[in-house]
A and B are shown apart, each in its own frame.
Chain A
Amino acid sequence: MGGWPKGPGMWIPPPVLGTDNVHALGASRRTIGAGGTPTSTAWPAANRAIAIPIWLPDAMVVSSLFIANGGTASGNLDLGIYTIDGAKVVAKGTTAQTGTSTLQILTVTATPVGPGPYYMVAVLDSTAGFAQAYATAVVAEQQMGVVQSAAAVPLAATLTFASPAATFIPLMGISTITTY
Chain B
Amino acid sequence: MADWPSGIIAGHSCISTTDVVNSVGAEINNSNSITQSAAWQVANTGVFVPVRVFQPITVVKMAIIVGATNTGSCDVGIYDPAGNRLVRAGSTALGTASTVQTFDITDTALDPGLYYFALALTSTSGTVFQSAPGNLYMRAMGCFTVASAFSTGLITPVTYASVNGTVTRFPWIGAYMETAI
Q: What residues of chain A have their CB less than 8 Å away from a CB belonging to chain B?
A: 4-16, 18-22, 25-30, 35-38, 57-58, 66, 68, 101-103, 132, 171, 173, 175, 179-180
Contact with B112, one of A7, A14, A30, A171 (Cβ below 8 angstroms): A7
Excluding A30-B32, A37-B137, 17 further A-B contacts by CB distance (< 8 Å) are: A4-B5, A9-B7, A10-B7, A10-B112, A11-B8, A11-B54, A12-B52, A12-B112, A18-B141, A20-B31, A21-B27, A27-B25, A27-B30, A37-B133, A57-B7, A57-B8, A102-B136
Contact with B162, one of A25, A36, A179 (Cβ below 8 angstroms): A179
Q: Distance (Å) between the CB of B82 and the closest chain A CB?
A: 11
CA distance A5 to B3 in the complex (A): 11
Q: A15–B20 contact, CB under 8 A? A: no
Q: How large is the interface on B (under 10, 10 to 19, 20 to 34, 35 or more residues)?
A: 35 or more
Contact with B26, one of A5, A21, A37, A58 (Cβ below 8 angstroms): A21
Q: B32–A37 contact, CB under 8 A? A: yes
Q: Using Cβ atoms and an 8 Å threshold, which residues of chain A touch B27?
A: 18, 20-21
Q: Using Cβ atoms and an 8 Å threshold, which residues of chain B touch A19?
A: 140
Q: Using Cβ atoms and an 8 Å threshold, which residues of chain B touch A38?
A: 137
Indicate whether B58 reaches chain A with its CB closer than 8 angstroms: no
**A66 closest partner in B (C-beta):** B140
Q: A8–B56 contact, CB under 8 A? A: yes
CA distance A37 to B25 in the complex (A): 14
Q: Distance (Å) between the CB of B75 and the closest chain A CB?
A: 23
Q: Using Cβ atoms and an 8 Å threshold, which residues of chain A touch B8?
A: 9, 11, 57
Q: B133–A58 contact, CB under 8 A? A: no
Q: Using Cβ atoms and an 8 Å threshold, which residues of chain B touch A4?
A: 5
Q: Using Cβ atoms and an 8 Å threshold, which residues of chain A touch B160?
A: 179
Q: A58–B114 contact, CB under 8 A? A: no
Contact with B136, one of A10, A27, A35, A103 (Cβ below 8 angstroms): A103
Residue among A12, A101, A103 with the highest chain B CB neighbour number at 10 A: A12
Q: Distance (Å) between the CB of B145 and the closest chain A CB?
A: 11
Q: Distance (Å) between the CB of B28 and the closest chain A CB?
A: 8
Q: Using Cβ atoms and an 8 Å threshold, which residues of chain A touch B114?
A: 12-15
Contact with B142, one of A12, A14, A30, A132 (Cβ below 8 angstroms): A14
Q: Using Cβ atoms and an 8 Å threshold, which residues of chain A touch B33?
A: 37
Q: A37–B112 contact, CB under 8 A? A: no
Q: A30–B30 contact, CB under 8 A? A: yes
Q: Using Cβ atoms and an 8 Å threshold, which residues of chain A touch B50?
A: 14-16
Q: Using Cβ atoms and an 8 Å threshold, which residues of chain A touch B32?
A: 30, 35-37
CA distance A171 to B141 in the complex (A): 11
11 A–B contact pairs at CB < 8 A? A16-B140, A22-B20, A26-B26, A27-B30, A30-B30, A35-B31, A35-B32, A36-B30, A37-B32, A180-B144, A180-B162
Q: Distance (Å) between the CB of B161 and the closest chain A CB?
A: 9
Q: Distance (Å) between the CB of B80 and the closest chain A CB?
A: 12
